[in-house]
Each structure stands twice: as structure tokens, then as C-alpha cells.
Amino acid sequence: MAVERKVYVLYTGGTFGMKKDDKGKLAPQTLDVIKDFIIRHTILYERKPGESDEDVWNRIVTPDGLITLYHQLAEDDPKAKSQKYKVLYRMDSLPTPIDSSNVTPKDWSDMAERIKEHMCVYDGFVIIHGTDTMAYTSSALSFILGKIYKPVIVTGAQMPIFHPRTDGLDNFVGSMLMAGYFCDREMLHQVMLYDLNKLYQGNRVVKFDCDSFSVFDSPDVFPIASLETTIKLYKHKMVEPIFPPSLKSKAFTRTETPQVRILRFFPGITENYVRGILVGADGVILETYGSGNVPDVAWLKECLTEADKRGVLMLNCTQVYRGTVLPIYATFEAHVIPGYDITPEAAMTKMIWVLNSDFNPETKRKILKHSLYGESCAPSYCPVS
């Protein structure tokens, strides 16, 4: 008897599910249109001799709407092949699919709630998302969901699945393969991002190219898996997240998004500019030079010290594509927290998550100083220390 695995697919919007309208502009399609296309694509690989399209449809789609994943994918996992795994999945969507440039922290909470609602029923999760803010979403979900025991994979496309040259179907198939057939691998029990045959840790990625199919990279850590002619899991190269045992992850508790701002340094930056960003902020991400350096001027230290006294949380990350901020520069004296090798996307979402939580001020600072879910090489969070 086949071993069944179930995957919950949440379509949130993005280029993946768009099609050109009569005016030649990309327009989002309904979930039913997307499901119909994917099922018909599956039929191409599942048809047995003498079967009609209707015969295959009735065989691979259950009466309650679960869809059978391509059987051939079991050949990529020796364990699944020997135990005759069968992966079924259900496709769902947000009430109104959105362009990822319109995503807000509330949407992150909504996505997380969907996953939590179905956590006991499904073995893996795939979120289809626009690529523009996908790295923000995968980072945010890692903090909101915290320690999980099933894979959650965010993926999308540069070209719609309805285009002959789409990358969307490959990304979908790869994500489903890892979330379904490989769902019992403990190293995959976290939030991840899948793009062009690579599976990345979700809070370690950046979007670095908007013109190619290779959209994302993980500057400071190795991918979790590579899906080429063979599938390789890089456990020996992976910096495994250390999940704090007594820190319970929390969804956002505030109805309004906190005032989190970005202070990017540049030659000739002025005091008025810096004060304009710091005044009224709840949290600030400093994007500094190199390993955390800033101009050595008295007014800057004064600005940062005043902000610290007002209770503004400040996290320092580098402008450089790859590198580490160390607690050795003047910003550290003004209680600016070194972010080590955290990405700007993870820094921003972590700051929003921390400020939205009901942790006390001391705990918030401590959380920002440490790595909770593998988001940086900072010392691991230890609640009792």
C-alpha cells in the first residue's frame, strides 16, 4: 500500500499566475484557471495507454479536490520509490491574490495563520508568491512561525506558467518535490525559498537579478539543496538554525505596523538627513560601510545616542553584498546592535516582528543581538543567559 503525503499549496499572487489580457498587459488569473492548467500539465505525464484526458483527470484528482503529484518524481527519492510514496496536494489562495509589491506585514500574518491552521493535516507547505518581495516574506515567516516540524517553501516565477518559456512550472515542481517526497527530512523543517533548482534557507536570501531566471542568492551561507540531474542535500555545508527552546514565536500583536526605517550611509550624509530618519522611528536598520563603519563625526554619535535614549532600536547591517558587521566600531558605543551577516530583508522583517511582539524592551534588544532562527552568524539566542 502506498504511503500518502499531503502538501498544502497557497497561491498569494505574482507573475506565476498571470496571463496577458486583450491589451497585452499581464493580469492575474483565478485559482481555478491556474489549477486547471497545472492538472492538464500533469495529465501529459500521467496518461496511461488508451486513457482519455477525462480518464486521467478522474484518476489523479480525488472527489474532495486533492491533486496527485507527478508519480515520476518518486524516482528522485530512493526512500519514496521503495515505499511507493504518493503525494497529494490541495491548492488554495488568499481571498484576493496580490502583486508582491503590495505585500504588507498583515499579509505575512495571514499567510502564517493559513499554515498554522493546516499544520496538523498536511506534511508540507508551498507558498506561491511574487519574486519582488519574496525574500521579505520568507524571512518574515521564519520569525512568525518559529520552530516548525514540516517544510514550508516559498516560490514563484519570472515568467507566467502560461508562457512556453516559463520558469514557474520548474519552480513549482521542485518545491512540491521537496515539500512532499522529502518532507520527513529534519533539515528541511524550516521556512525555505526555492528558485532555479536551488533550495535556500528562507531568512538568508536576497533578490539580486530581475532579468534572469536565477533570481535569488544566499550570499553568506550555502544552499540547502540542489536539484540538478541528481538531488543533493548539503547538510554537511549547512549552518543549521538553533531554535531557542523557551522562546515562543508570536504573530504580530499590534494593529499598526511599527515605524521601521532604513538609514543608508553615503558620502556627504548630513545631520539633518540622519535626524529626519531617526526622529519618530521605533526601529532603524543602519546600512553601513564595509564591516559596520560610519563617518567619524561627533554629531552622528550624538544623533544615535539620543535615539537610543528615546528607546529606538537600531540594527547595523552592511551595504556590501557579502560580509559581516562586527561590534568594533563607533556605532557599538551608541548601543547600535551589530547585525553580523544578516541580510537587509531579514533585518527589516526581524525588526518589525520584534517591535510587533509583546516582549519587554530588554528581551527585544537581546533578541536583536542574537540569532534566533539561523538568520545570521550572531551568537545563538539563549533565554537563560
Coil, strand or helix: which one is 262?
strand
Give the cell for residue 56. Answer: 486521467
Cα separation, 317 vs 340, whole angstroms? 7
Of the CA atoms within 13 Å of residue 22, those in its CB half-sphere come to 0
Q: How many residues does the chain have?
A: 385
Give the cell for residue 1. Answer: 500500500
Radius of gyration of the chain (CA): 22
Residue 203 contacts residue 191 (beta carbons within 8 Å): yes
Give the distance, in angstroms, between the CA of residue 91 and the centroid of all CA atoms in the same chain: 19
* Alpha carbon distances (Å) from 101 to 40, 83, 119, 368: 30, 42, 27, 26
**288 tagged catalytic:** no
Of 12, 15, 42, 131, the active-site residue reads 131
Residue 187 contacts residue 233 (beta carbons within 8 Å): yes
Coil, strand or helix: which one is 373?
coil
Coil, strand or helix: which one is 21?
coil
Give the cell for residue 36. Answer: 486547471
Cα separation, 15 vs 156, whole angstroms? 7
- 213 CB contacts (<8 Å, ≥6 apart)? 158, 167, 196
Residues annotated as part of the active site:
131
